[in-house]
Amino acid sequence: MADFVGAVDQGTTSTRFMIFDHGGREVGRHQLEHEQILPQAGWVEHNPLEIWERTCSVIRTAMHARGLRATDLAALGVTNQRETTVVWNRRTGMPYYNAIVWQDTRTDRIATALERDGRGEVIRRKAGLPPATYFSAGKIQWILENVDGVRAAAEAGEAVFGNTDSWLLWNLTGGVDSGVHITDVTNASRTMLMDLETLDWDDELLSFFDIPRAMLPEIRPSSDPKGYGHTLSGGPFGGEVALTGDLGDQQAATVGQVCFGVGQVKNTYGTGNFMLLNTGTEVVRSRSGLLTTVCYQFGADKPVYALEGSIAVTGSAVQWLRDQLGIISGASESEALARQVADSGGVYFVPAFSGLFAPYWRSDARGAIVGLSRYNTNAHLARATLESICYQTRDVIEAMARDSGVTLDVLRVDGGITANELCMQLQADILGVTVSRPVVAETTALGAAYAAGLAVGFWRDTDELAQNWNEDKCWQPEWTEEQREKGYAGWHKAVRRTLDWVD
C-alpha cells in the first residue's frame, strides 16, 4: 500500500494541502491565502474559482516538493470552512455568485423572521441549530432571491448548492464531465436543512427557505469505504487518488485531536474559535446557547454527535488589528506588542463584528472597545484582543458545563493562534485549567486524513489513531482566583454594552 495520506484543508483565510505518514506526522505541505471580498458592511465573500485554482496550486507544489505521485497516496480527505455557500451551474461549472462566507450577516432579516413565527423552534428541534445568519440555508435563499435565473435553474437541477467541500469534490472528480455532487453528514448538519435523527434533508426545513431539493448534494458518511470518487489524471495529482474522507473543519479537528470518547473536548483557534464536546451516539440538546451537530460518521457505524460552542471572531480580530488599524504588520506581532504591558490597563475589546455567536446568539450586537483612558496604548488594545479570545472561550466552557455537567481539567487546543504563547498563558489564567497543545497543531488537516485513511484500511481503527497523539507544550494557570473572577465580571459588563446595537 502507498505510504501516505493527503488532506485538502479549505479554510476561511487560506487553502492548504498536507501529506501525512502512518504515524500522523507531517511529510509535506503548501498553503495559499485567498482574497477576502468585503463589498459592504457585514458582507464577506470568496471567489470559488480562486479557491479551486489555489487548491490545485497547493496540491501540485506540495507533491512536487516531495517528489510524490498520485500512487504514493493511499487516499485523500477534504475538510472545509463550514456553512460557506457556493451555488454553481453543473453544465458550465461556473458559480452564479461569489461564495457567501459563514461570517456574512446579510441574511439577518431572514434569521430574525424565523424566530418570530415559530419556525425557529422547528429548526432547533430538527436541525439542532438556532436560526442565525451563520448557517447555509439563509445564504442559499438569498442567492435564489437575488441572482437572476438561479431559481429556475435550481428547480431544473442545473444550479446546485454546496459548501466548499462539495465544490472541491465536484471539481476534483472531473467537474462538468464527471463531477460527483456529495457532502458529508457533518457539513450537512450546518445548513439548517438536515434532520439530525434521519440524517437526510428535511422537506419542512427546505420549505422554510423555499429551497428546491434538486439543488442539494447527496449526504454521505465522513469516512466512506465506498469512496466518493477518484481524482483524475488531468487534475492536480496527475493521477487517480481515492476520495474517502470529508468533514467540516471543526469536526475534522475533533477527529485530529482524537476526541473519540464521550466527554472529550477540543478548542480550535482560527479565524473564529470552535469548541466541540463529543456526546457519543446520543443527540444532546443545549439549553445554554450551544449547537447540536454531527461530530463524525465512520462508514456504516452510528453517527457520533457533539455539542459545539462557535465564536465568530477571534483570529479575525487579530487580522483587524493588522489590516484595518495597521498597529501590527503580522498576526504573530500581536504577542510582542501585548507583552509590552503587564495587563490590558482596564481595556476590554468585544469583537462582535458579526453579532455574537455562542452562547449569546445576538445578530444585533456590534463590536465595542470599552474602559479606555488617556493612559492606554496600542499595546493595551493588543492585549485586550488576546484576552477577548480567551474570555469568549470561557463563556462557551461555562455553557458546556451547564449543558453536560462536564468540568474540564485540561483543554486540548489547536489552530493558528496557538502559536501565540502569551494568548495560551492568558487562556490558562482566564479559565483556571491547564491548556495543552499537541505536536501536530494542524489537527484539521490531520482529521481529514484520518477519516480518509480509516476508510481504506491505512489505519486500522480509532485506537491506533489515539496512539499518534503527543503533547508539545502545556500552560498552567498563574492568576489568583480573585484576579480571574474580577476580569471575567468586567468582560460581561463589556459584552452588555454591545447588545441591542442594530435596530
Question: Which residues are at the interface with ligand ADP (CB under 6 A)?
Answer: 11-14, 270-271, 315-316, 318-319, 331-332, 334-335, 415-417, 419-420
Please report how close the Cβ of residue 256 comes to ligand ADP at its closest, in angstroms.
Answer: 12
Backbone angles phi, psi at 235, to 5 degrees: -90, -170
Rounded distance between C-alpha atoms, residue 254 and residue 272, angstroms: 15
Pairing of strands 14-20, 4-10: antiparallel
Question: Measured from the CB of residue 201, what is the shortest distance to ligand ADP in angstroms?
Answer: 27
Round to whole Å and give the CA distance between 448 and 462: 13
Query: Is the CB of 34 or the CB of 139 nearer to ligand ADP?
Result: 34
Dihedral of alpha carbons 273, 280, 290, 45, sign: positive
Which of 196/318 has CB closer to ligand ADP?
318
Nearest distance from residue 176's CB to ligand ADP, in Å? 29
- What are 42's three cell numbers? 457585514
Question: CA-CA distance, 55 to 469, in Å (whole number)?
Answer: 27
Mutual angle of helices 249-256 and 443-455, in 10-degree steps: 80
Q: Where are the beta strands (DSSP E) in 238-381?
A: 242-248, 265-269, 273-280, 291-296, 304-311, 348-350, 368-370
Of 465, 466, 439, 412, nearest to 5 by C-alpha is 465
Burial class, 322, CB count within 10 angstroms (exposed 0-12 / middle 13-18 / buried 19+): middle
Sequence letter at residue 463:
D
**Separation CA 226–CA 242 (nearest Å):** 10
Residue 332 beta carbon to ligand ADP: minimum distance, rounded to whole angstroms: 4
Q: Which is nearer to ligand ADP, 198 or 332 (CB)?
A: 332
Strand-pair category, 348-350 with 368-370: antiparallel
Nearer to ligand ADP, 212 or 248 (CB): 248
Q: Burial-class residue 85 by CB neighbours within 10 Å (0-12, 13-18, 19+).
A: buried
Of 29 and 230, which has the nearer Cβ to ligand ADP?
29
CB of 65 to ligand ADP, least distance (A): 20
Nearest in space to 9 (alpha carbons), one of 449, 480, 501: 449
- Tell the smallest beta-carbon distance from residue 331 to ligand ADP (Å): 4
CA–CA dist 150, 145 (Å, integer):
8
Specify the residue, 229 or 270, whose C-beta has the smaller distance to ligand ADP.
Answer: 270
CB of 157 to ligand ADP, least distance (A): 33
How many Cβ atoms are within 10 Å of 472's Cβ, its own excluded?
11
Q: Which is nearer to ligand ADP, 404 or 427 (CB)?
A: 427
* Closer by beta carbon to ligand ADP, 386 or else 399: 386
Of 357 and 459, nearer to ligand ADP (C-beta) is 357
Nearest approach, Cβ of 79 to ligand ADP (angstroms)? 10
Instruction: State the residue number with the nearest CB to ligand ADP.
Output: 416
Shortest distance, position 358 Cβ to ligand ADP, whole Å: 16
CB nearer to ligand ADP: pick between 231 and 271: 271
CB 48 within 8 A of CB 54: no
CB of 312 to ligand ADP, least distance (A): 11
- CB neighbours of 244 closer than 8 A, spacing ≥ 6? 75, 76, 77, 223, 224, 225, 227, 228, 451, 452, 455, 456
